[in-house]
């Protein structure tokens, strides 16, 4: 039986290198910082590059709290929650956080990736890398500003078109002109579909720029749900939608954006389940919090994917999902919108059995 060499080596014409050296060369040239967080003592061991990314010199000590102090205030609790939950659940960590480097207050975006090593059987060391993604973020911002402007320009004429089509449809109904009614209903469905897409793009650009503007008013969530079911019949016509009886629940929120959340969740339930399977919508009120659930009997989602589902552009890669079109922005937008309303959004799912997407909102 061959014995495993004590230290792994790699050779080429230039010599023999320890794999640990190769890892160091690669990390240096890619400008990647590394760090280890002792899961028990919370002692933090950053490399010089990680220190530099957080604005510290190699000579300075940098604890986890020191690093956090340079993270933009509004993002600190998200970073702490993400790290603590990854440690507790033994899951992988991926966060993008803005930091401000004193004294010039220089802004920079970092991505932090981490997890437990599979070779550390004691699970003592939570470790990972930090990378400067400022340039990528600036490009994203430029792209999303462009999307925002284009979508806004497209929305105005399309809204007018929708109104005229509705007027014509009403007129054709009075004339009992069944051919025109049929044709105009199809035009209306397509216009609504385009408006939905444009609204998603507008919200995406707002969310990415950190400017998801809310126009709040008080309305009944149960009425909105009924309207959305009717409005989205063109997406969900293939499925039976069952709405559980729901008492009138007033909420103070941005109606259009909550509508967008419902449309996204309903169309996903239809997209990711067989046509025979019904979709159920329910809403309940408990201690001033309304919970809305949209439950399908579709393909379901694996636990590993659930963790990343609400990240921008994340799509599950499987034989079943590759046949379904999408950009992976719907759930990201839903979570941005719900969090901006001080609500929560999550999914309970079992592969092969179905998924239940739920969100909460404070009632007014
Ligand atoms: P898109 O549907 O455009 O890909 P979303 O952000 O709405 O983007 O959804 C992200 C991913 O989550 C989807 O690609 C899909 O894999 C998964 N997903 C969303 N809703 C469901 C659902 N009801 N059942 C199963 N998988 C879902």
Q: How many residues does the chain have?
A: 364
**From the CB of 326, is ligand 1 less than 6 Å away?**
yes
Task: Give the residue, by CA position, lying nearest to ligand 1 atom 19.
Answer: 268
From 112, 105, 44, 108, select the one nearest 78 (Cα to Cα).
112
- Check whether residue 120 and residue 144 sit in a common domain: no
**CATH number of the domain to which 44 belongs:** 3.30.450.20
- Check whether residue 226 and residue 353 sit in a common domain: yes
Residue the block writes with tokens 């909105």:
224
List CB contacts of 141: < 8 A, sequence separation 6 or more. Answer: 208, 209
How much is the pLDDT for 6?
Answer: 54
**CATH number of the domain to which 277 belongs:** 3.30.565.10
> Looking at the domain assignment, is residue 321 inside a domain?
yes
Identify the bridge partners of residue 243 per DSSP, sorted by sequence position. 281
> Looking at the domain assignment, is residue 144 inside a domain?
yes
> Looking at the domain assignment, is residue 14 inside a domain?
yes
How much is the pLDDT for 132?
Answer: 95
**From the CB of 272, is ligand 1 less than 6 Å away?**
yes
Task: Give the residue, by CA position, lying nearest to ligand 1 atom 20.
Answer: 268
From the CA of 298, give the closest atom in ligand 1. 24
Q: Is the dihedral of CA 92, 96, 97, 102 positive or negative?
A: positive
Q: What confidence tens digit (pLDDT) does each residue in 14-67 have? A: 666 667 677 777 777 778 999 999 988 989 999 999 999 999 999 999 999 999
Q: Using the mean position of ligand 1's atoms as its centre, give its distance from the Cα of residue 271 in Å.
A: 8
- Check whether residue 175 and residue 119 sit in a common domain: no
- Check whether residue 94 and residue 183 sit in a common domain: no
- Check whether residue 225 and residue 314 sit in a common domain: yes
**From the CB of 296, is ligand 1 less than 6 Å away?**
yes
How much is the pLDDT for 52?
Answer: 94
Q: Using the mean position of ligand 1's atoms as its centre, give its distance from the Cα of residue 281 in Å.
A: 17
- Check whether residue 178 and residue 160 sit in a common domain: yes
The one-character DSSP state at 321 is G
**Own/partner pairs, 215-218, CB within 8 angstroms, 24+ separation:** 215/254, 215/256, 216/252, 216/253, 216/254, 217/252, 217/253, 217/254, 217/255, 218/250, 218/251, 218/252, 218/364
Q: Using the mean position of ligand 1's atoms as its centre, give its distance from the Cα of residue 267 in Å.
A: 9
- Check whether residue 232 and residue 357 sit in a common domain: yes
Q: CA angle, corner 61, sides to 59 and 66, nearest 5?
A: 135
Q: Using the mean position of ligand 1's atoms as its centre, give its distance from the Cα of residue 263 in Å.
A: 13
How much is the pLDDT for 1?
Answer: 42
How much is the pLDDT for 9?
Answer: 66
Task: Give the residue, by CA position, lying nearest to ligand 1 atom 7.
Answer: 330
List CB contacts of 151: < 8 A, sequence separation 6 or more. Answer: 198, 201, 202, 205
End position of a domain, from candidates 208, 231, 260: 208
Q: Using the mean position of ligand 1's atoms as its centre, give its distance from the Cα of residue 196 in Å.
A: 16
Q: Which of 196, 236, 309, 317 to mutate to test the pocket of ligand 1 (most atoms within 8 A of CB)?
A: 309
Residue 93 C-beta-side C-alpha neighbours within 13 Å: 31
- Check whether residue 148 and residue 54 sit in a common domain: no
How much is the pLDDT for 2?
Answer: 44
**From the CB of 269, is ligand 1 less than 6 Å away?**
yes
Q: How far apart are CA 82 and CA 299, in angstroms?
A: 27
End position of a domain, from candidates 178, 208, 238: 208
How much is the pLDDT for 14?
Answer: 67
End position of a domain, from candidates 168, 189, 208: 208
Residue the block writes with tokens 């339930």:
269
**From the CB of 340, is ligand 1 less than 6 Å away?**
no
Quote the number of domains for the chain. Answer: 3
- Check whether residue 103 and residue 61 sit in a common domain: yes
- Check whether residue 231 and residue 340 sit in a common domain: yes
From the CA of 327, give the closest atom in ligand 1. 3
> Looking at the domain assignment, is residue 259 inside a domain?
yes
Q: How far apart are CA 253 and CA 363, in angstroms?
A: 9
Dihedral angle computed from the Cα positions of residues 151, 156, 160 and 166, in that order, rounded to the nearest 10 degrees: 40
- Domain of residue 96: give its range: 8-132
Q: How far apart are CA 184 and CA 110, in angstroms?
A: 50
Q: Using the mean position of ligand 1's atoms as its centre, give its distance from the Cα of residue 327 in Å.
A: 9
> Looking at the domain assignment, is residue 3 inside a domain?
no
Q: Is the dihedral of CA 205, 216, 74, 332 positive or negative?
A: negative
> Looking at the domain assignment, is residue 288 inside a domain?
yes
> Looking at the domain assignment, is residue 175 inside a domain?
yes
Dihedral angle computed from the Cα positions of residues 146, 253, 260 and 285, in that order, rounded to the nearest 10 degrees: 150
The answer to whether the predicted template modeling score (pTM) of the entire model surpasses 0.75 is no
Q: Using the mean position of ligand 1's atoms as its centre, give its distance from the Cα of residue 315 in Å.
A: 6
Q: Using the mean position of ligand 1's atoms as its centre, give its distance from the Cα of residue 154 in Å.
A: 26
- Check whether residue 109 and residue 151 sit in a common domain: no
> Looking at the domain assignment, is residue 2 inside a domain?
no
**From the CB of 253, is ligand 1 less than 6 Å away?**
no
Task: Give the residue, by CA position, lying nearest to ligand 1 atom 3.
Answer: 326
- Check whether residue 225 and residue 128 sit in a common domain: no
| Spans in the chain with pLDDT lower than 70 | 1-18, 20, 120, 234
From 338, 331, 330, select the one nearest 306 (Cα to Cα).
331
């Amino acid at each position: 039986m061959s014995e495993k060499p004590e230290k792994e080596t790699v050779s080429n014409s230039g010599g023999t290198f320890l794999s640990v050296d190769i890892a160091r060369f690669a990390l240096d040239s890619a400008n990647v910082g590394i760090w280890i967080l002792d899961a028990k003592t919370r002692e933090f061991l950053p490399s010089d590059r990680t220190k530099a990314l957080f604005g510290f010199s190699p000579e300075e000590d940098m604890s986890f709290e020191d690093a956090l102090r340079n993270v933009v205030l509004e993002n600190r609790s998200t970073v702490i929650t993400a790290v603590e939950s990854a440690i507790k659940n033994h899951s992988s960590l991926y966060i993008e956080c803005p930091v401000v480097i004193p004294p010039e207050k220089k802004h920079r975006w970092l991505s932090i990736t981490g997890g437990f090593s599979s070779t550390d059987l004691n699970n003592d060391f939570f470790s990972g890398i930090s990378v400067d993604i400022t340039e990528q973020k600036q490009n994203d911002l430029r792209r999303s500003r462009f999307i925002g402007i284009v979508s806004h320009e497209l929305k105005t004429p399309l809204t007018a078109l929708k109104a005229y089509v509705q007027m014509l449809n009403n007129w054709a109904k009075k004339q009992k002109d069944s051919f025109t009614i049929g044709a105009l209903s199809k035009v209306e469905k397509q216009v609504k579909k385009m408006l939905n897409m444009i609204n998603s793009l507008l919200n995406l650009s707002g969310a990415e720029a950190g400017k998801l503007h809310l126009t709040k008013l008080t309305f009944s969530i149960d009425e909105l749900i009924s309207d959305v079911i009717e409005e989205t019949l063109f997406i969900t016509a293939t499925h039976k939608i069952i709405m559980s009886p729901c008492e009138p629940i007033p909420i103070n929120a941005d109606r259009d954006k909550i509508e967008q959340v419902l449309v996204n969740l309903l169309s996903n339930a239809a997209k990711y389940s067989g046509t025979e399977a019904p979709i159920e919508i329910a809403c309940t009120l408990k201690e001033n919090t309304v919970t809305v659930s949209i439950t399908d009997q579709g393909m379901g989602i694996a636990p590993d994917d659930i963790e990343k589902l609400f990240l921008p552009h994340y799509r599950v890669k499987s034989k079943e999902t590759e046949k379904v079109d999408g950009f992976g922005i719907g759930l990201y937008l839903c979570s941005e919108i719900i969090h901006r309303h001080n609500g929560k959004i999550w999914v309970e799912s079992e592969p092969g059995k179905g998924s239940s997407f739920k969100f909460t909102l404070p009632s007014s």
